[in-house]
Amino acid sequence: MWRIVVSVFAAALLAGGADAQSVSLTDQRDVAYTKLADGFDFPVGKPDAQGYYKARGYRPNGHLGEDWDGTRGGDSDLGDPVYSIGNGVVVFARDVHQGWGNVVIIRHSYRERGDIKTVDALYGHLDTMLVRNGQRVARGEKIGSMGTAHGIYDAHLHFEIRKNLEIGMSRSAFAGDLSNYYDPTEFIKTHRRLEGPGGNYAVAINTFRRDATINFDLAKNYSASRSVTSTAPGAAKKTITFERVTPLDD
Ligand SMILES: [Zn+2]
């Protein structure tokens, strides 16, 4: 009986979080407990991104997130802290290799006009990760540091906010438009203050079912190829382009 109740609850949560997405998870039994987010901040220079600028914005079917860079330029922001934008639970944290490097995804539930909604926030190219899958995190908690995806980019944070909780690292299987994604800055600016966090909330986890076919450990790590093909890391960094690395890349 408890199992059935949890299933229905989780499915309802997911459907609410995904807005217009039709999500059928009738057999979804995996849930985690998270504090509702009481608002969202920027992931760098908390809370208002002070000292950072948006080098690239969200573009539907193009760049599905934002690139945040330090105003000091170059790799001066390498190792700078990256913060959770709100209360939530980590649903993904690992080295994805390819064009991604280390990636953390945090699931945030929040109350808006009486409804509970849920989004995934993705933090990519991290130099270090300080959280693990399943860990609960608080608004403003340091979750990692800005990196280069193993040296293939100038240091920056690639940051996405998804309304569809099934995307995970399988972006190519989902439409890259506003049906699945938010414009991150617009989302944060319109959700700075929300109703109080209240108690623990059950949110569905293990929803990245498309990722099951990916063997992250076997994915090519471009830092290795760079080290043997060039003695000038800076030059190599510029020759590996977004398109050449992988469709997953950003
Ligand atoms: Zn990017």
- Lowest mean pLDDT across 9-18, 72-81, 108-117: 9-18
Q: Where are the alpha helices (DSSP H) in the chain?
A: 2-17, 184-189, 222-229, 233-239, 242-245
Q: How far is the CA of 1 from the centre of ligand 1 (A)?
A: 44
Q: How far is the CA of 56 from the centre of ligand 1 (A)?
A: 7
Residue 218 clears pLDDT 90, i.e. is over it:
no
The DSSP output letter for 88 is E
Q: How far is the CA of 73 from the centre of ligand 1 (A)?
A: 16
Tell me the residues surrounding ligand 1 (ion) with CB < 5 Å.
67, 158, 250
Distance (Å) of CA 182 to CA 30, 77, 163, 204, 221: 25, 25, 7, 20, 29
The confidence score (pLDDT) of residue 29 equals: 67
Amino acid at 185: T
**Mean pLDDT throughout 210-218?**
90
| Backbone angles phi and psi of 86, in degrees to 5 | -170, 180
Instruction: Write out pLDDT tens, residues 122-132.
Output: 999 999 999 99
Q: How far is the CA of 123 from the centre of ligand 1 (A)?
A: 10
Distance CA 248, CA 99 (A): 7
Report the candidate in 5, 2, 4, 28 with the shortest Cα–Cα distance to residue 17.
28
> What residues contact residue 188 under an 8 Å CB cut-off, 6+ apart?
40, 41, 42, 85, 161
Q: How far is the CA of 68 from the centre of ligand 1 (A)?
A: 8
Contacts 24+ apart (CB under 8 A), 170-173: 170/208, 170/210, 170/211, 170/214, 171/64, 171/248, 172/247, 172/248, 173/210
- Token couple for 179: 């049906």
Band of pLDDT at residue 24, cut at 50, 70 and 90: very low
Q: How far is the CA of 157 from the centre of ligand 1 (A)?
A: 7
Q: How far is the CA of 62 from the centre of ligand 1 (A)?
A: 10
The confidence score (pLDDT) of residue 197 equals: 67
Distance CA 83, CA 78 (A): 14
> What residues contact residue 50 under an 8 Å CB cut-off, 6+ apart?
none
Residue 87 clears pLDDT 90, i.e. is over it:
yes
Q: How far is the CA of 212 from the centre of ligand 1 (A)?
A: 24
Which domains are present in the chain? 2-245 (2.70.70.10)
Q: Are 149 and 155 in contact (CB under 8 A)?
A: no
Band of pLDDT at residue 230, cut at 50, 70 and 90: very low
Could you give the percent of the chain with pLDDT greater than 90? 68
Q: How far is the CA of 239 from the centre of ligand 1 (A)?
A: 17
The confidence score (pLDDT) of residue 27 equals: 46
Distance CA 174, CA 35 (A): 28
Distance CA 25, CA 14 (A): 8
Q: How far is the CA of 20 from the centre of ligand 1 (A)?
A: 25
Model-wide pTM > 0.95:
no
- Lowest mean pLDDT across 159-163, 207-211, 218-222: 218-222
Instruction: Write out pLDDT tens, residues 128-161.
Output: 999 999 999 999 999 999 999 999 999 999 999 9
Higher-confidence residue: 25 or 127? Answer: 127
Report the candidate in 76, 89, 91, 83 with the shortest Cα–Cα distance to residue 42.
83
